[in-house]
């Protein structure tokens, strides 16, 4: 689910149509080259063109921000749900271990058996504590790795957008300066379109170069850490059971207190 939502979020960033300068120029603007329109028309509407482009970019940035907020909220909710479920399960497993210890203590007939049960309890609780710590650390690292990857990608996307916006502003500033200097508006318009196209092409290239978040790799690292915690726990439990069976040959195996 998290991976699917991220793909939707990424599609919005990469395919939202951040800027389309050519349609802006085309709207309600006859071509000076083809119609012989008065020299001053293009320059007089330059501020309008710039404002329309800025508004379009601003609208798309707003959509990106909203999608980011939604995604962050969904991640927070899912993590909270998993934490709650893990806490509930651990509470149940703790209760089951206490029940098992009580049954063992009912079978104690000698001081040696009593000491063996105590040693077994201590060994199991130490193994459980170690496993909890290892799993909590693995979960925390996985979440931090995901958060870092999201943050780094967000920074890269924002940098690409910022670079485009800076190029756009510089292009319109240059065009405005040329208009004030009385240069040919046909040439100004052509130059402006060329610069904006180059800026847009660079933005597309920059965003394509940004690495996607490798959720599979992060998840694999997380699974490996969890599997190691389970393996270490099982090894500790096997030893504890073996020591217990020496004193209680017919003892019922202890359920794995995950």
In a domain, 255, yes or no: no
Q: What percent of the chain has pLDDT over 90?
A: 68
CA of 209: how far to CAs of 16, 44, 153, 160, in Å?
Answer: 17, 38, 11, 10
Is residue 22 included in any domain, yes or no? Answer: yes
List the domain range (segments joined by +) for residue 81. 2-247
CA dihedral 193, 15, 164, 19 (to 10 degrees): 40
DSSP 8-state code for residue 182: T
Spatial separation of the C-alpha atoms in residues 75 and 142, rounded to whole Å: 13
Whether residue 186 contacts residue 32, with contact meaning beta carbons closer than 8 Å, is answered with yes
- Number of separate domains in the chain: 1
216 in any annotated domain: yes
Give backbone dihedrals phi and psi of 213, rounded to 5 degrees, phi first. Answer: -75, 125
Interacting residues of 9 by C-beta distance below 8 A, sequence separation 6+: 67, 68, 71
Residue 102 to residue 218: CA distance in whole angstroms: 42
User: Residue 153 falls within a domain, yes or no?
Assistant: yes
pLDDT digits (tens, 9 = 90+) for 1-50: 444 444 444 444 444 444 454 444 544 444 444 443 444 688 999 999 99
Dist. CA 258–CA 255, nearest whole Å:
9
Where in 61-179 does DSSP place strands (E)?
Answer: none
Domain contains 257: no
Torsion angle of the four alpha carbons 71, 151, 15, 195, in this order, in degrees rounded to the nearest 10: 150
How far apart are alpha carbons 63 and 57 in whole angstroms? 10
Average pLDDT, the chain: 84
Residue 253 lies in a domain: no
Query: pLDDT digit string (tens) for 207-256?
Result: 888 888 888 999 999 999 999 999 999 999 999 998 888 877 665 555 54
pLDDT tens track for 37-91: 444 688 999 999 999 999 999 999 999 999 999 999 999 999 999 999 999 999 9
115: in domain: yes
């Amino acid at each position: 689910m998290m991976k699917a939502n991220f793909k939707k979020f990424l599609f919005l960033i990469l395919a939202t149509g951040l800027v389309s300068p050519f349609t802006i120029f085309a709207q309600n603007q006859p071509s000076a080259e083809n119609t012989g329109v008065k020299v001053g028309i293009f320059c007089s509407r330059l501020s309008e063109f710039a404002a329309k482009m800025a508004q379009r970019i601003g609208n798309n940035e707003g959509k990106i921000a909203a999608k980011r907020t939604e995604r962050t909220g969904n991640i927070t909710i899912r993590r909270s749900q998993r934490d709650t479920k893990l806490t509930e399960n651990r509470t149940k497993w703790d209760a089951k271990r206490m029940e098992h210890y009580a049954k063992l203590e009912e079978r104690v007939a000698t001081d040696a058996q009593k000491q063996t049960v105590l040693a077994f309890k201590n060994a199991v609780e130490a193994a459980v504590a170690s496993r909890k710590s290892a799993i909590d650390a693995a979960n925390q690292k996985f979440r931090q790795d995901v958060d870092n990857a999201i943050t780094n990608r967000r920074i890269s996307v924002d940098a690409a957008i910022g670079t485009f916006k800076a190029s756009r502003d510089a292009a319109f500033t240059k065009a405005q300066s040329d208009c004030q200097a009385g240069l040919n508006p046909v040439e100004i318009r052509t130059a402006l379109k060329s610069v904006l196209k180059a800026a847009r092409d660079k933005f597309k290239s920059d965003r394509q170069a940004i690495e996607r978040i490798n959720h599979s790799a992060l998840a694999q690292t997380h699974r490996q850490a969890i599997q190691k915690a389970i393996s270490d726990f099982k090894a500790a439990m096997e030893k504890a059971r073996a020591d217990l069976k020496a004193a209680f040959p017919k003892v019922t195996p202890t359920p794995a207190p995950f």
